[in-house]
Amino acid sequence: MRDNKPLEEQAELTVRHHLIKHGFSIAKPSYDTQGGDILIIEKPNEQFSKILKVQSKGRTLGKNGTNVRIPISYVTDDFILFIYLVKEDNSDFLYVLFAKDIKQWTSNGKEYTLSITENSIEKEYMAKNLLSEDKISQIRELLKKAQIKKYTS
């Protein structure tokens, strides 16, 4: 079985890079809590701030496709999923999905599952979720609407 840890690290670093590049303040929790690999924090120097949970997933897309599973309990209004997808030719893609998107996936009552194939990445659903300026604007809007929570660094 292939070790997925290096790709997961690459995915998280890629997501962190793009968030910082677009001016977001981020934090890395000591451990993943409710799907939060990374936190986007509106005011990191204050005790109370608006916070978004970000989960990053790294996947290799081979001939048989791949899938992403997210526990239903993680998918709240303040949750964002980034999927970093690497094809066998090393071309890569970064997708951004929000709770409303994830809730459209297949569900077994415990988790949502998205199956990804070579054909599906070219279809509208995946193409419209590629990281773009529009997606960055949606993240900013989501942060504005987020509930204020206690934050300690």
Per-residue model confidence (pLDDT) at position 152: 66
The enclosing domain of 89 has a CATH number of 3.40.1350.10
Q: What is the C-alpha separation between 20 and 26, in angstroms, rounded?
A: 7
Please choose, from the candidates 133, 67, 153, the residue with its C-alpha nearest in 3D space to the C-alpha of residue 106.
Answer: 67
Element housing 114 (H / E): strand 111-116
**Parent domain of 26:** 5-150
Q: The tokens 């005790």 sit on which residue?
A: 47
84 within 8 A of 18, measured Cβ to Cβ: no
Per-residue model confidence (pLDDT) at position 134: 98
Average pLDDT of adjacent 10-residue blocks, the chain of 153 residues: 83 98 93 82 86 96 94 97 95 97 97 94 88 98 91 64
Per-residue model confidence (pLDDT) at position 32: 67
Structural domains in the chain (count): 1
The alpha helices in 47-132, defined as continuous H runs, are: 99-102, 124-127
Give the rounded distance of the alpha carbon of 104 from its chain centre.
16
Per-residue model confidence (pLDDT) at position 46: 78
pTM of the predicted model over 0.85: yes
